[in-house]
Chains A and B, each alone.
Chain A
């Protein structure tokens, strides 16, 4: 795709598979703020035309208007037209760094083993939240976050006003939550608010075990005895709002079952 690069002052080719560019780069529209009121729309976006949603500011000839509760998009090339050139770099679907470490501590008969891994630098498009808030279809459930959406009494927010079928352009929807999405899931070209950092530290395993001292074992029957508890996938340390911050296929989180947590309790004896 082609976007306007403010640094170079011209339109450049980005994304996809190109020589000299990284794989998995994400481009989309930057949400600067949510218009608090009609006055703010008139002040900031009087002459703006949002070519993606097919709406325009109060001074434009567009039939369908930008109103309070809509997104104030970043107009990168400052030409008062929001179109595909106004997209910005929003991250990369692939982590920059991945790694892991283990620790093993023991004291007398008690030992503790832990295994952690992490990934840093990847971005996840939270399609599930965008799609649900965007009311793609009348049969969707609502979510808690919707309470934070813009309303006349809640003007200072980063969640746009709720409309039915946001994904459809004017006059039905405003394309506030999603811009490129329609029926299918699309990685690029949506609202920056719903691209989240995926950095995480995962606690994969903790094993706590106790070896009985040989002195207390009945030597005739048992040579060794141990009890242990093994915990898997206990928690993630992450800012990602979904259940699993691990990079989803294609960089799009569209809803998934959480990673299963498991606990194994065991006794190990040697005769």
Chain B
């Protein structure tokens, strides 16, 4: 009996050892995605490109903050450190008060842009050696990758000046050598220009939009080229760069004839009108997929607080049902900005919501906030699902006008197209058309002003002022000419600590 049991146990042992040694332990992971098993099929490339667009969307709030929060649009009313609804500005005020430092940078870690730059670098590297992607897709994706990388570096250049350049994919990390020095502004600009050219040549003659315009396209690269060239034309490039800009914009007009201004300004932005004829490139939001979190986070009021105020001239009291903004108002629109708009201009109320306070029997303007991106109602609450336009046709027209001014030509045609749409039936060329408004005596000011009215909350104003020259920044914002270093942004403490080769932006205290 005992012998039998021993035999059974021994044979079991043999069976166990026999099976456990027969399989190879040196396996590649099957279920988890890694660099060794990715990049095998065309689908995987498609998914990666979508991932880059999704990550681009996550940088939306940085694009907007860098583009206008330090300009003259947002701010609290004089004498009131809080917002008119009673909400605290919670540090956002540092942007328009120009009190940023390394602990309060407004936008930290370079907006997180490098997280996508390294992904784009990886995509470029893999596309150039891959044989599974069709040539048409390969060209389109390379065009997107180079164009978007240039777009990121243009933000970095305009906001921090000297920045770290990374164009190679990071395939292995030497933990002892993480520090990297920033490159000169000239080197960054050279990279931007080279990337735009690579993007345009990759797209070739393919002007098609993909995914209802939330994929980067050739037209987007041309818009960027025009923007970069205009920037350079004010910095020594003169008429040569202005001509380059004009040609790039005309190229879009010729080859993408479907682009046009929509008859109604507000319909450009509505959540139900995605990828419309005015849009060239936009960031896509969708109900149950993604909403613009930064809008409710800082730009629209709490529903309960706005219900204490009244709509235009007291026409009705706000209520928590229809005015269910459900946000936190950290960055109201200054009433002085609101008042700059002509009352006949449809962009006024389509961009800014005024709030009136009842004083006895009269109503007085208490404050304002942006209502450009109103989202949609879903199950009793509001979801901000509008697309965020990066480039649209009005931008194209106003850049043509700008280039023409530099070249000594009349910008009237393009400016007036934009004004005509804005004023609609109230438009009268004799009083409102270029050059008949008083501001038109100074064409550069006229362009800047028109762009202010057109692009509130689209992240353009600060960059516009910077593009035209620092004097425009000093005369329109709270940056003093004695503190000219503040046109750039400070680098946050974490970035300086993690990369010891990085130096604080010139002028800002190092501690």
Contacts and interface: CB of A to CB of B under 8 A. Distances in A.
Interface of A: 1-2, 11, 16, 51-52, 54, 83-85, 136-138, 164-165, 167-172, 180, 182-183, 189
B103 A168 contact: no
Contact of A85 (B94, B101, B511): B511
Interface string B90-125: 110110000101111000000000000000000000
Contact of B81 (A1, A52, A138, A165): A165
B82 interface: yes
5 contacts: A84-B493, A138-B88, A168-B88, A168-B89, A172-B81
Interface in B472-511: 493, 497, 509, 511
Contacts of B101: 51
A183 B90 contact: yes
B168 to A, nearest CB: 28
Interface residues of B, number: 18
B509 A183 contact: no
B86 interface: yes
A165 B82 contact: yes
Contacts of A169: 94, 99, 104
Contacts of B88: 136-138, 165, 168
Contacts of B104: 169, 182
A1 B497 contact: yes
Contacts of A16: 497
B497 A168 contact: no
Given A54-B99, A168-B81, A169-B104, A2 B511 contact: yes
A136 B82 CA distance: 12
Contacts, number: 48
A258 B104 CA distance: 35
Given A84-B511, A137-B88, A180-B103, A172 B493 contact: no
Contacts of B81: 165, 168, 171-172
A16 B497 CA distance: 11
A35 B166 CA distance: 51
Interface in B166-182: none
A188 to B, nearest CB: 11
A182 B89 CA distance: 11
Given A83-B511, A171-B81, A182-B91, A138 B86 contact: yes
Contacts of A164: 82
B511 A168 contact: no
A168 B90 contact: yes
A136 B511 CA distance: 26
Nearest to A2: B511
B426 to A, nearest CB: 41
B69 to A, nearest CB: 16
B91 A168 contact: yes
A83 B93 CA distance: 20
B91 A183 contact: yes
A42 to B, nearest CB: 25
B308 to A, nearest CB: 13
A117 to B, nearest CB: 38
Contacts of A11: 511
Given A168-B88, A168-B93, 10 more contacts: A1-B497, A51-B509, A52-B103, A83-B511, A84-B102, A165-B81, A167-B91, A168-B91, A169-B99, A183-B90
B82 to A, nearest CB: 7
A219 to B, nearest CB: 51
A144 to B, nearest CB: 24
A84 B91 contact: no
B493 A1 contact: yes
Contacts of B89: 168, 172
Nearest to B497: A1
A2 B509 CA distance: 13
Contacts of A52: 103
Contact of A83 (B82, B86, B90, B509): B509
Contacts of A183: 90-91
